[in-house]
Each structure stands twice: as C-alpha cells, then as structure tokens.
Amino acid sequence: MRAFPSRVLPVVLGCVLFAGVVPAASATPARTVLWSDEFDGPAGTLPAAANWIFDTGHSYPGGASGWGNGELETYTKDPANVSLDGTGALKITATKDKSGQWASGRIETQRSDFQPAPGGSLRIEARLQLPDGGGPGYWPAFWTLGAPFRGNYTNWPQAGEIDVMENINSQKIVHGTLHCGKTESGGPCREDTGLTGQTPLATGGFHTYAVEWGPTQLQWSVDGVPYWTVTESTVGSSTWKSTFAHGYFVLLNLAIGGDWPGKPTKSTVAGKSLLVDYVRVSRSG
C-alpha cells in the first residue's frame, strides 16, 4: 500500500508457489508478544482507540489526495465501514452510496516503535480473510510505515514501508514488498514498485500473513511457508541501516481503486469486507 506516490503493477522479482505445503519441523527461538489485538467485543463497535488511530477522509492532513495512490474511497469511522463483527474479528467493509461514492476503513496502530531487539527478530503477523468476489478495484492491505513518516508525510520512501500483504482485484495472489531509499523513482528498492514478491493462494478463507524482520533480512510468509526474502546485501548496508534504524507502525485498510488495481467497473460488488481475526507483533532475541 503506497504511502505517497502512485503505484504501478510491480515487477515480480521472485516467488515461491504456495499450495499448503508444510515445512519440516525445526527448532524456533522463543518469542515474546509485544502487542496484539484479538478484536473481541460486541458487534458494531469500533476497534479500541487505545490501540488504533482512525484515518479518515481522502488524505493525511496536508498530504497527497487519494492517499498518494489515486484511491477513490473516503475513509470513515462509521461502523458500517470499520467495526468488530461480534465473533472475534475486525470487519473493514467497502460501501457505495446511491450517488456512486465509495467509503471504507483504514486504521493504524497508536504505537510506532515496533522493531527488533539488537541481534533479534521481529514478527508482524495477522490472520486475514480477503474480500470474496468484490472484483475490480478492491485493494486490501496489511502493511507498515516507518515512524519518521508519521506527522511528516513527505519523506516516503526514505522512512521505509513494509507491505506484509496486498491483494488487488480479488485475484488469488498476494504480494509482499519493501519500499526504501531516498528517491521515488529507481533507487535501491526499485521504486516506485518496490522490491516485490508474490505467491498464489490455493484456497480462500483465513490465512496467516507475516513478515519476519531480522538483523540482515526480511522474509515474507503465508501460513508459515516463506515465499519472498529481501536481504541487506540487496539494498546495501547504508540503505538497510537507515531504513531500519527506527520503529514502525502497522496499518490495515481496504482501498477502492487506485493506480495499481485501477478503477472499479460495473462488475465490482459493493459491501465486501476484509476480516481480521488478529494482529500480533512478537520478538525474539
């Protein structure tokens, strides 16, 4: 999910097919959960304000319109667009009014200090069910932005962006991306597409999407199966250090339209939802 400039269809640099393959068992280091939201609560209530900031409108204050992506929707705090479903999940729904105007939801964590301990790793994960059958223009995302972006809104991609999961147009494919560097075109992260991998989804329903941020690499996975890795050597030590020398905050949103998925069409179905069973941030080391 682009923080600022327009997005075009990313060039896939590598992928591993996801087909429910279970990796061989191996010893894993103990992890400490730093933060989580399980989205328990009555149906129709907003997610906890102590955990989340609600983004509203068409941009950050003073930021680029369309959230820098050419998005069409208006983000709201209306429970019709973002609320608990009463069964332990967050429901972000894209709606369309009689005049054809779209609305949806976008939230970001109050905390912006998520990063690994020295020499350790940080895991950011969510169990999600993607909108089923929304069609052209749907763009759900689970992603992060570097803390220096908050309140500045002009230092993208230098502040860093890790897209844990993106999906467009109800395709059975998900994408993971790193954005970095000092330029919005080219640079070590090959902007504005970023360093992008993708994997197909063999089935619908809920899947666990995660990124593991270690001392010298990022690794993306679906249901525990890695499919994409970016290392320090890929972007260079200087860029790696500047990109990850600070904390990050986590975002969830369901966009409609934009430079990457394109506009909705007559076949696009309003009222489809991104369901979020949980979001967890854990650390080892």
**Which amino acid, 138?**
Y
Token pair listed for 234: 């890929």
Taking the C-alpha atoms of residue 13 and residue 59, their distance in angstroms, rounded to an integer, is 30
The reply to whether 166 belongs to the active site is yes
How far is CA 29 from each of CA 1, 121, 227, 283, 285, rounded to the nearest angstrom? 30, 10, 20, 10, 8
> Tokens 């666990």 identify what position?
208
Classify residue 155 as exposed, middle or buried by CB count within 10 Å of its CB (0-12, 13-18, 19+).
middle
Partners of 52 in beta bridges: 109
The answer to whether 92 touches 81, Cβ cutoff 8 Å, is yes
Selecting among 71, 73, 125, 161, the annotated active-site residue is 161
Question: Which residues fall within 8 angstroms of residue 268, CB to CB, at 6 or more apart?
Answer: 134, 135, 136, 137, 138
Beta bridge partners of 217: 231
Catalytic residue among 73, 125, 166, 232: 166
Query: Can 191 be counted among the known catalytic residues?
Result: no
> Which residues are the active-site residues?
161, 166
